[in-house]
Amino acid sequence: MEAAELRVGFVGAGRMAGGMARGLLRAGKVPASSILASAPSDRNLDAWRDLGCRTTHCNLEVLQESTLVFLATKPHILPGVLQEIRPAVGPHHVVVSLAAGVTLQKLQRAGAMVFARGSGASDEDAALLQNLLTSCGLCEEVPESYINIHTGLSGSGVAYVYLFAEALAEGAVKMGMPGGLASRIAAQTLLGAAKMMLETGEHPAKLRGDVCTPGGTTVHALHQLEKGALRATVMNAVEAATKRACDVGED
């Protein structure tokens, strides 16, 4: 389906939906006039109008006007929304649940997404979705059992990285560097490391080893991190977030 033919709807107009819409617009995947978003009030819709998108307070109107519909509500609201829109879902619709089917970092750029297709979704549907979502960042099709793991790894993982970046910068501040400069350098350091992982495809342990000079500064610093059980603590954090995502899904 060509971008000019595609009509994209969002039931829910919060940060996640907004970030995805901006990614689609930046990549030229769909014109703003072909995007329709719904929300109960105007609180979140003004930003969509500024982008040139259409808005409504009626969820059913989104189904009536769209061929691809993203359900971008919070998980506890989703069952009620599904019951409301079910009568309007037709064979021409591709319906994607962001709450239960796709997880997206709350970023406008360089997000990491996974999706799992339902039994009624075709190869064409999956290809369409992946083509659109790659405009927002990395996108992979996975088994449904990976969805909650992705939440623990990437959805919540953004916060782990911010915490680590904060600690990096504060370490430099402790040693006498101004805070603003330390934060910028910490961010650039994380960006460079992430790009190296993606561009080389090497295991992070290999890249870490390449940085270590025998008897040098890095290996001494890594020794301190190992004494603080950094790896085990981060693994425990991913496990805790994954388990919580499973619990929320069962509520």
- The verdict on 201 and 224 lying in the same domain is yes
Residue at which a domain ends, from 142, 169, 204: 142
CA distance 44 to 14: 6
- The verdict on 108 and 24 lying in the same domain is yes
Structure confidence at residue 204 as a pLDDT band (50, 70, 90):
very high
- The verdict on 23 and 72 lying in the same domain is yes
| CATH number of the domain encompassing residue 222 | 1.10.3730.10
- The verdict on 128 and 170 lying in the same domain is no
Q: What is the pLDDT of residues 78-93, one digit of tens each?
A: 889 989 988 888 888 8
Q: Which burial class, exposed, middle or buried, applies to 3 when counting CB atoms under 10 A from its CB (0-12, 13-18, 19+)?
A: middle
pLDDT of residue 99: 58
Number of neighbouring beta carbons within 10 Å of residue 129: 22
Residue at which a domain ends, from 92, 121, 142: 142
- The verdict on 53 and 132 lying in the same domain is yes
In sequence order, the 6+-apart residues with CB closer than 8 A to the CB of 112 are: 105, 137, 138, 150, 154
Decide if 85 is inside a domain: yes
Q: What is the arithmetic mean of pLDDT over 42-58?
A: 95
Q: What is the pLDDT of residues 149-185, one digit of tens each?
A: 998 998 899 999 999 999 999 999 999 999 999 999 9
Q: Which burial class, exposed, middle or buried, applies to 124 when counting CB atoms under 10 A from its CB (0-12, 13-18, 19+)?
A: exposed
Domain count, the chain: 2
Domain of 136, in residue numbers: 8-142
Decide if 150 is inside a domain: no
Do residues 100 and 44 touch, judged by C-beta distance below 8 A? no
Of 78 and 186, which is predicted with more confidence?
186
- The verdict on 91 and 43 lying in the same domain is yes
pLDDT of residue 220: 97
Beta strands (DSSP E) in 32-187 are: 35-38, 54-56, 68-71, 94-97, 102-103, 111-115, 137-141
pTM of the model: 0.77
- The verdict on 113 and 161 lying in the same domain is no
| CATH number of the domain encompassing residue 96 | 3.40.50.720
Q: What is the pLDDT of residues 80-137, one digit of tens each?
A: 998 998 888 888 888 888 754 443 333 334 468 888 888 778 888 888 888 888 877 7
Decide if 2 is inside a domain: no
- The verdict on 128 and 22 lying in the same domain is yes
CA distance 104 to 225: 30
Decide if 3 is inside a domain: no
Decide if 105 is inside a domain: yes
pLDDT surpasses 50 at 1: no
| Mean pLDDT of all residues belonging to the chain | 88
- Residues 168-174: contacts with CB under 8 Å, at least 24 apart: none
pLDDT surpasses 60 at 49: yes
pLDDT surpasses 90 at 211: yes
- The verdict on 52 and 120 lying in the same domain is yes
- Work out the percent of the chain whose per-residue pLDDT is above 90: 57
Decide if 211 is inside a domain: yes
